[in-house]
Amino acid sequence: MSEVSVSFVALVLAAGQGRRMGATKPKAWLEIDGKSVLEWSALRMARVPGHAGTILAVDADSMSQRVPAHRDALGAFGVVDIVEGGASRQESCERAFAAATRRLPEVQVILVHDAARPFFPVSQTAEALRIAAQEGGALLGHRARDTLKRIDAAGLILETVDRSEIFQAATPQCFRPDLFARMLAEARHQGIRGTDEAGLAEACGIPVHAVECPSTNLKLTWPEDLSLVPSLIPLLHSDS
C-alpha cells in the first residue's frame, strides 16, 4: 500500500434530526467519553493523512443553539466552515460542497462522511482516498454477513438473496472534485434523489470502488446502538 497521502476536504453531514434514536437532541450531539459524536468524527477525520479541512453541515437549531458552544473545539479539530444543511442529505451535501469549493478549491478529493459514524477507520479511509484520486470514486463498507431475505409489505419472505455480491455501503465516500460536481449537477437536473453519494455516481455512470472495512464503522441510528459504544471507545483514541 502506498504511503503517499492525498489532499482532501471532508464534508461531514450532521443536519439530520436522528428521530429513530429517540434522543432529546440530534444524535451528532450526543456525548461519548467527554466529546460529542460530531466532535469525535471531526477529530478522527483530522488524523487522516492529507486532511486539508472539514466543512460541517448541521441543522438550523444546532447552528443557533449548539454550534456556538462547540465552535472553538471544532476549529481545533480542523473544521474550517460550518453551514446550515438543507431539507435532504443531497441538499446538505450541495451546501457543504459549495463552501468547500470556496475555502479549499485545490484538494484532490472530496470526502463525504456521516457525522454519526465516529468509529470509522483511518487506514481504510486513506486507502479509499488514494483509489478515488486515481479512479474517480471509492467508499468504505463491508460484506453482508447474514443470510438475506427479500420480503413483501406484510413481512412475508419471498426469496433468499445471494449475499456473495452484496456489499453494505458506509462512509466515508470519496470522489474527485470534478466528478463530484458533475454528480450533483446531473442529479439536480434529472431530479435524482440518492440515499448516498455513491448512488448519484452510479446514476451518472461514474465507477465507485468498494474498500472493505470492519463492521465497527457503526452508524449510530437506533437506541440499542448506544449499548455497543463502550466497547468501541478505544477506537476513538486510535490512529488506525
Domain chopping of the chain, boundaries: 8-230
Task: Burial-class residue 150 by CB neighbours within 10 Å (0-12, 13-18, 19+).
Answer: exposed
Which of 19 and 88 is assigned the larger pLDDT?
88
Structure confidence by residue, pLDDT tens digits, 185-210: 999 999 999 899 999 999 999 999 99
140 and 211 Cβ atoms separated by less than 8 Å:
yes
- CATH code at 8-230: 3.90.550.10
pLDDT, one tens digit per residue, over 13-32 is 998 776 777 667 889 999 99
pTM, two decimals, is 0.94
The average confidence (pLDDT) of the chain is 94
With cut-offs at 50, 70 and 90, classify the pLDDT of residue 219.
very high
pLDDT for 2 beyond 60: no
**What is the spatial distance between Cα 125 and Cα 82, in angstroms, rounded to a whole number?**
22
